[in-house]
Chain A
Amino acid sequence: MAIAKRKFDSLVIGAGGGGLRAALQLSRAEATVAVVSKVFPTRSHTVAAQGGMNAALANVLPDNWHWHMYDTVKGSDYLGDQDAIEYMCRAASHCVIELEHSGVPFSRLDNGKIYQRPFGGQSQNFGGDQAARTCAAADRTGHAILHALYQQNIRAKTHFFDEYFAVDLLKDDEGYVLGALVLDIETGEPLIIEAKTTLLATGGVGQLFRTNTNARINTGDGMAMALRAGIPVQDMEFFQFHPTGIAGKGMLITEGVRGEGGYLINKDGERFMERYAPHARDLASRDIVSRAIAIEVREGRGCGPRGDHVLLKLDHLGADVIHKRLPGIRETAITFVHVDPVDTPIPVFPTAHYTMGGIPTNRFGQVVAPLGQLVEEPVPGLYAAGECACVSVHGANRLGGNSLLDIIVFGRAAGNHIIGYLQENHYHRPLHADSVDRGMQRLARWDQQGDGESVDNLRMELQREMENHCGVFRTAEVLQDGVVKIKAIEQRLQHARIKDHSKIFNTARIEAMELENMVDLALATVISAQARQESRGAHSRVDFPERDDVHWMKHTLFFKEGYKLDYKPVRTKPLSVDSFPPQKRVY
């Protein structure tokens, strides 16, 4: 079969903020750049980021990058790599100003400087008073960044392959990554994109869980491609959950509701948080509230016909307060569950929000893996940035305002490193047919005819099992059960079939390949979580409630082959300042 082929200096897979920032750096350096995106670029999930982007500009309150670094290390529960965190916090102000010059309309103070809002986890002077560090373009920061970067890329002549799905990485026998096999969704035709470097910027994998806040495109495609190429994924057990998402649907109900006086009740009408956190009650930390909700449901005190959620009660606040201070929440509840919180409580359940783990990289965006003697050896030609990468600046938990910062800083850093790589590697390395054949086999697998399991049903089952066995309530028994169940789904996936074998816009085939990606990442997540016998950041084990720095201050690496686990040390030495040693994390 003849397969079309295009050649570029650099290939970027994913057109969110990380991918577009890297592509812009490259196109401006006059590299030829291809960006592959399965949806139109400005429909990437970066568009959903409302909060803002942290940078110690000190426009509102005193601040400096070192305090930001302290907060980020502490927020990571000391699992973040301190060299990467220092790099990110130092680069933050410069990156915000660059974005402003690229056309991002950051909100302003009366004096004309960029407005900054306070967020949880931000402090002055290493744990002192509240800081105000988050730069925002009203409540549309992600949208503003994504559109500005897209337009700048058009201007810089980046070549976009819109509505193309990345099937697999192409590698040679020496381990160089030489591009990717992609599929034109519109025509169903495969295309080889050869490139001297390939950057994965495909976002997180929130779709692993039934209740999640992520766009449905977040199926971890880049992470799974890395796994299939023999590269591990790192720290996948760390998944950030928000305690109050709309039950069964996932949309976020902000903490502000409980801040205004809203509280949670179970089926008996009991204000149950009083049992779990007698002082803070409904304002206890996210992990405590999330776990309390999960326990109420597990122990039969959940609400609704299936007893699978609790209720968030606001009606006692009165219509005026709700109309004035929580109008967006009211709209969300009315639209998605037909409930007006002025008189009826909102059904809620913990919702998966952010993937801290991902493809291991260093602070230059190079993908690193224990390929030979070294624990971190760059995979030649392969880079990753953003939520699909684990650099690791978020460690065991991410601070608000640090995700947009992560994608911009490390998208740019990867772009810079790739420019250096291209200067030393002038020619494309030869591409061997067997590398392409592996990707083509993956495509051909879904041409199999006959009866088999439904992809839709398997995906729903996977999401339900992950929520029940690898959500916020984790014990050895629950996780072991989860490993067995997800492995069974992996086996059943071999027998799944799709009914539509047409070529043009065959979305069933894309959804089937997305499910393959998700199953690999579900296994990575549940097996990594089962092994980690401590509670740290977002990974909370009921049977190991304390953090254990002696045995577990290390990164997990999961390999697809043989479900193998390995570990590597946390990089505790920053670039220029003293290390922040682990301390008890108290807010």
Chain B
Amino acid sequence: MYIENYEPQRDQPGQQKSRLYWQCRRGMLELDSLLQDFFKQQFDALTAQQRASFELLLQSPDDLLLEYLMGRVVPMDAGMSDVVAKIRQSVTV
């Protein structure tokens, strides 16, 4: 009944959106709030290039990501910097 040492397949097609949504789950409420709310409101409207920049941004460690999103540090990458600006502008009260 059981398969020993099973390794599941990776990188199946069409999973980018749900994978990135899960990667918006971080270790700090501040990041969760900014990333998840932005994702829900605006991800579908992003261009392919912006999505790529967003994915790159999500690879940052949490402490650096917080610096970016609180506006204390500006990413060197122009695409990432634009996405950070969009995230900061997307916050609703």
Contact = CB atoms under 8 A, between A and B. Distances in A.
Nearest to B15: A504
Given A40-B23, A48-B29, A146-B27, 14 more contacts: A4-B6, A5-B6, A6-B5, A39-B22, A39-B25, A39-B26, A45-B27, A143-B63, A187-B9, A192-B2, A212-B29, A335-B88, A336-B30, A505-B21
B91 A335 contact: yes
A257 interface: no
A42 interface: yes
A471 B93 CA distance: 23
Interface string B73-84: 000000000000
A46 B15 CA distance: 28
Contacts of A332: 30, 70
A216 B29 contact: yes
A251 B30 contact: yes
A42 B1 contact: no
B29 A505 contact: no
B91 A338 contact: yes
Interface string B1-35: 11111101110101100110111011111111110
A331 interface: yes
A351 B28 CA distance: 14
Q: Give the interface centre of B1, B19, B62 by most chain A CB atoms within 10 Å.
A: B62
A138 to B, nearest CB: 10
Contact of B4 (A5, A249, A336, A507): A5
A2 B2 contact: yes
Given A249-B33, A507-B21, A215 B3 contact: no
Contacts of A177: none
Interface string A110-147: 00000000000000000000000000000010010011
B8 A506 contact: no
Contacts of B33: 249, 251, 336
Interface residues of A, number: 47
A76 interface: no
A331 B26 contact: no
Interface in A33-92: 38-40, 42-48
A338 B71 CA distance: 13
A505 B91 CA distance: 26
B29 A47 contact: no
A39 B31 CA distance: 14
B62 A43 contact: yes
Given A47-B62, A186-B15, A3 B27 contact: no
Contact of A331 (B6, B8, B22, B72): B72
A217 interface: yes
29 contacts: A4-B2, A4-B3, A5-B2, A5-B6, A43-B26, A46-B27, A47-B62, A48-B28, A163-B22, A186-B8, A186-B15, A192-B2, A215-B29, A215-B32, A216-B29, A216-B32, A216-B36, A249-B29, A251-B29, A331-B70, A335-B69, A335-B91, A336-B30, A337-B93, A504-B18, A505-B15, A505-B21, A507-B18, A507-B22
